[in-house]
Each structure stands twice: as C-alpha cells, then as structure tokens.
C-alpha cells in the first residue's frame, strides 16, 4: 500500500466513521486509529483485493472493540449512548429527530449493515464478508433496519419538524 492509495479512501472512512459514532471528533479518532492499524497490519492485506473494503473491515472491528472497551473500562455507557452535553446548541431546539438521530436509535448491528449497503453501496456478499456474517443475516438486518427507520418516520410524534434534505456525495 502506498500512502496515496490509502489517502484516496479517507473520505469514505470519515463518512462511515461519522455515521457509526455520530460525532465528528470521535469519527476522526476512529479514522486515525484505522489508518494506524492498517500500517501495522499491512502484511495482512492481499494486493489486488479491495483496499477500501479491507480498511472498512479494520474500522468496523476497531469500532466494536472500542465500544466493548468503553463498557468494561469504567462501567459507563459509550458516549453515543449518554445524554448529549449541555453545550450542544441543538439540545434546546425542538427539532431533535433527523436521519442521524434515527440512525443512532438503531442497534449497532443494524446500523452497520444499513450504512455499508445503502451509503457505501457494498453488495450483500461484500458486506457479509466485511462483517464476518452470513449473507442471510445481512439481508435480515437490512430489512429490520429499514423497517425500524420507516417506523420512526411514519410515527407523527417522531417525525422531524423540518423536512430531511438529501446530501449528494
């Protein structure tokens, strides 16, 4: 891997990390940890295979390890499961539910599959390989994730006050 090859994948890594963590600072840390791990584990990458998939798999595993470590280190929930800090400007706004908030309500397993298939546009087989799960599990989790999101946005009480805007990448 050359530096230039890895640099080309940073936007995709940042996007996926941001969606996983829900926090720009933690996402940047996760991307940095992923790139550091890639440098250390470089001999495990198979030249000719998809570098982006390998990097996203490393990121996925690091994220799961960090979540597990947060629960065991101090007995507290990870930051994304705590109440938002009081200094958050949107905390006082009545518009709390947007797509990112809805994604945060999904379990990590459902959210990961949804993001890899719909945002990163991986096939079911590629997603299954990255996450180390059967294709049927990918399909099941994707269906459940979509249904849960649909339920959140169909519920008038949970509907966002402002319409959602699609962002092109």
pLDDT at 119 over 60: yes
pLDDT score of 135: 94
Distance CA 10, CA 156 (A): 38
DSSP secondary structure string, 12-72?
Answer: HHHHHHHHHHS-HHHHHHHHHHHHHHHHHTGGGS-TTS-HHHHHHHHHHHHHHHHHHHHHH
Q: Which helix (H) or strand (E) holds 131?
A: helix 124-131
Nearest C-alpha neighbor of 26 from the set 63, 76, 71: 63
Residues 48-107 pLDDT 10s: 778 888 888 888 889 888 887 765 555 444 444 444 444 454 443 333 446 777 888 889
Whether this prediction's pTM lies above 0.85 is answered by no
The residue ranking higher by pLDDT, 155 or 34, is 34
Residues 12-61 pLDDT 10s: 889 888 888 888 888 899 999 988 888 888 877 777 778 888 888 888 88
Structure tokens at 165: 């805007």
What is the DSSP code (8-state) at residue 85?
P
CATH of domain 1-82: 1.10.1740
pLDDT at 143 over 60: yes
The answer to whether residues 148 and 99 touch, using CB atoms and an 8 Å cutoff, is no
List the domain boundaries for the chain.
1-82, 92-163
Tell me the pLDDT band of 134, cut-offs 50, 70 and 90: very high
CATH of domain 92-163: 1.10.10.10
């Amino acid at each position: 891997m050359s530096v230039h090859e890895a640099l080309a994948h940073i936007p995709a890594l940042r996007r996926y990390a941001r969606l996983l963590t829900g926090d720009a600072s933690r996402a940047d840390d996760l991307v940095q940890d992923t790139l550091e791990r890639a440098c250390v584990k470089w001999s495990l990458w198979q030249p000719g295979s998809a570098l982006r998939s390998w990097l996203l798999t490393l990121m996925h595993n690091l994220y799961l390890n960090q979540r597990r470590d947060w629960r065991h280190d101090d007995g507290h929930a990870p930051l994304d499961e705590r109440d938002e800090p009081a200094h958050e400007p949107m905390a006082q706004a009545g518009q709390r539910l947007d797509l990112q908030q809805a994604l945060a309500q999904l379990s990590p397993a459902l959210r990961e599959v949804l993001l890899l298939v719909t945002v990163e546009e991986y096939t079911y087989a590629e997603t299954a390989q990255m996450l180390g799960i059967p294709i049927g599990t990918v399909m099941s989790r994707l269906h459940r994730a979509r249904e849960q999101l649909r339920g959140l946005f169909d519920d008038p009480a949970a509907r966002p006050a402002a319409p959602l805007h699609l962002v092109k990448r």
